[in-house]
């Protein structure tokens, strides 16, 4: 038995692959394009593990996907592959459309052809699980109820619009062709192996380096924070027991303003890695001009997932953020490798034939 994971060297996908192989003997075919946020260092402890097969490639490469499906005959495909940074989507939306929309279309078509050819029992058991975001629902005011699965889509950034389009494609391939799909929409993830362009790892690393801790606007943008390994357990549960064609929202029940998140990180660093020169890390906070179209609040109602599949998160924000800070303090080599030009050059040399 085998599963195929796309985007399995990224933050959430990489955590999922590690978590899956810790829980199951089932092999993983791990496909990743290795863009700037894809990092083989995340998968380093799997070196020599014959249950993990890494393939450098793009979900939009129909021939490659067809060959992988024919060769490994997976019982499920889990799609994490996506461009996912809002700021980058504002400055360069084309890549987001290409990967998140066109790439998802090509992957769906390859999977549909493979699924059509499966024998009866295998065809019935097969699943395509698409991992998406709460940002497709738009923004909430402070008093609005959290997003549930029936909220209409109102994306406000090129990133969220591209993910909304991919969700619609997945839904359409189920209703039109019968492809057995599942979709999850998650809140903001955090935890180990997070590429340091996102808020939490950026704050940790800038704080340690003595740099400013930039906060957009007034810092009162509210997000629901989900520890990444809780997200992995939710995906496993949906893959195992989710109803075909359904969407499941995955949240941490941890709504926090960005400024509170930064203050919490600073307090933990004050305790675990106090400044040699004295002073507090929060003194490095600076407020910068808000980004265009910045959504004010996201919040996830994850009761459907708990009610129907018995899942709820194990980590509170307080336990999860402490584990996250401790991980970054203990894994500075990973940070240096993922942020250095040397790592990107190595990828180019390692895969120069395919690149």
Tokens 């894994």 map to which residue?
331
Tens of pLDDT, residues 30-64? 999 998 778 899 999 999 999 999 999 999 999 99
Specify burial of residue 342 (Cβ count, 10 A radius: 0-12, 13-18, 19+).
Answer: exposed
Q: Which of 58, 135, 230, 301 is labelled catalytic?
A: 135
Q: Which of 134, 230, 295, 315 is catalytic?
A: 134
Domains annotated on the chain, with CATH: 2-347 (3.40.50.720)
Q: Which of 114, 159, 193, 227 is catalytic?
A: 159
3-state secondary structure of 323: helix
Amino acid 294: pLDDT? 83
- Tokens representing 56 are 């450098």
159 catalytic, yes or no?
Answer: yes
- Is 135 an annotated catalytic residue? yes
Please give the pLDDT value at position 122: 97
134 belongs to the catalytic site: yes
Pair 5, 38: CB distance under 8 Å: no
- Print pLDDT tens along the chain (355 aa): 999 999 999 999 999 999 999 999 999 999 999 987 788 999 999 999 999 999 999 999 999 999 999 999 999 999 999 987 777 888 889 999 999 999 999 999 999 999 999 999 999 999 999 999 999 999 999 899 999 999 999 999 999 999 999 999 999 999 999 999 999 999 999 999 998 878 999 899 999 999 999 898 999 999 999 999 999 999 999 999 999 999 999 999 999 999 999 999 999 999 999 999 889 999 999 998 887 878 899 999 999 999 999 999 999 999 999 999 999 999 998 988 887 765 456 445 544 433 2
pTM, entire model? 0.93
Q: What is the pLDDT of residue 291?
A: 77
Q: In the prediction, which pLDDT does 35 show?
A: 83
User: Tokens for 64?
Assistant: 């490659």
| Predicted pLDDT of residue 352 | 46
Query: What would the DSSP string read from start to end of 205-261?
Result: HHHHTT--EEEETTS--EEEEEEHHHHHHHHHHHHHHPPTT-EEEE--S-EEEHHHH
């Amino acid at each position: 038995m085998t599963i195929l994971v796309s985007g399995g060297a990224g933050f959430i996908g990489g955590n999922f692959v590690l978590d899956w192989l810790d829980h199951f003997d089932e092999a993983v075919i791990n496909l990743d394009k290795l863009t700037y946020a894809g990092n083989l260092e995340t998968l380093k402890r799997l070196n020599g593990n014959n249950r993990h097969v890494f393939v450098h490639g793009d979900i939009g490469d129909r021939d490659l996907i067809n060959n992988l499906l024919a060769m490994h005959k997976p019982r499920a495909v889990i799609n994490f592959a996506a461009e996912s940074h809002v700021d980058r989507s504002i400055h360069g939306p084309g890549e987001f459309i290409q990967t998140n929309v066109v790439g998802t279309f090509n992957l769906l078509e390859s999977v549909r052809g493979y699924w059509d050819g499966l024998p009866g029992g295998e065809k019935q058991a097969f699943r395509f699980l698409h991992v998406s975001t709460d940002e497709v629902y738009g923004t909430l005011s402070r008093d609005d109820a959290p997003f549930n699965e029936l909220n209409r889509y109102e994306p406000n950034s090129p990133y969220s619009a591209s993910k909304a389009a991919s969700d619609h494609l997945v839904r359409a391939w189920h209703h039109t062709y019968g492809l057995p799909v599942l979709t999850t929409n998650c809140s903001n993830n955090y935890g180990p192996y997070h590429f340091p362009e996102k808020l939490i790892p950026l704050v940790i690393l800038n704080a340690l380096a003595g740099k400013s801790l930039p906060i957009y606007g007034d810092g009162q943008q509210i997000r629901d924070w989900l520890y990444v390994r809780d997200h992995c357990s939710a995906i496993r549960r949906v893959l195992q027991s989710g109803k075909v064609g359904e969407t499941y929202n995955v949240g941490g029940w941890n709504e926090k303003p960005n400024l509170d998140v930064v203050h919490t990180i600073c307090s933990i660093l004050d305790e675990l890695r106090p400044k040699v020169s004295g002073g507090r890390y929060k003194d490095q906070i600076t407020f910068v001009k808000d980004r265009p179209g910045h959504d004010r609040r996201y919040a996830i109602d994850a009761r459907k997932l708990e009610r129907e599949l018995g899942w709820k998160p194990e980590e509170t924000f307080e336990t999860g953020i402490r584990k996250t800070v401790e991980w970054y303090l203990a894994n500075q080599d990973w940070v240096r490798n993922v942020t250095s030009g040397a790592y990107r050059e190595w990828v180019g040399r390692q895969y120069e034939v395919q690149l």
